[in-house]
Amino acid sequence: GAGVSQSPSNKVTEKGKDVELRCDPISGHTALYWYRQRLGQGLEFLIYFQGNSAPDKSGLPSDRFSAERTGESVSTLTIQRTQQEDSAVYLCASSPTALYEKLFFGSGTQLSVL
């Protein structure tokens, strides 16, 4: 079966432009997470979706960041008016239940803001 799929794998954009990152979770997984990984650093929690519940947006660093998820399928992370400090790998993960025991990560989107 397919794992978590993220697209694009690499994105280069100019400062001030908007970008949209996509995540296709493993089929049947109800929970979906977005994390940010800056070069040489740990994973920074951004947002968490669980089924039809209101998402946990407590990790979003500013109002330039937003995310949506359609039911229990695809999610998109949007960054408006990108800044150079937004450059990072954006990782998506899904898990089969509301429990967080095992997260399955995608390979990430490498975002470079010039």
Strand-strand pairing, 109-113 and 10-13: parallel
Distance CA 20, CA 7 (A): 9
In this complex, which beta carbon is closest to another protein, that of residue 10 or of residue 78?
A: 10
In this complex, which beta carbon is closest to another protein, that of residue 62 or of residue 100?
A: 100
- Closest CB 105 distance from another protein, rounded Å: 3
Which residues of this chain interact with another protein, rule CB under 8 A? Answer: 4, 33, 35, 40-45, 48, 56, 59, 91, 93, 100-103, 105-108
In this complex, which beta carbon is closest to another protein, that of residue 16 or of residue 112?
A: 112
- Check: CB of residue 47 under 8 Å from CB of residue 53: no
Cα-Cα-Cα-Cα torsion 68, 74, 71, 102, nearest 10 degrees, comes to: -100
- Closest CB 111 distance from another protein, rounded Å: 15
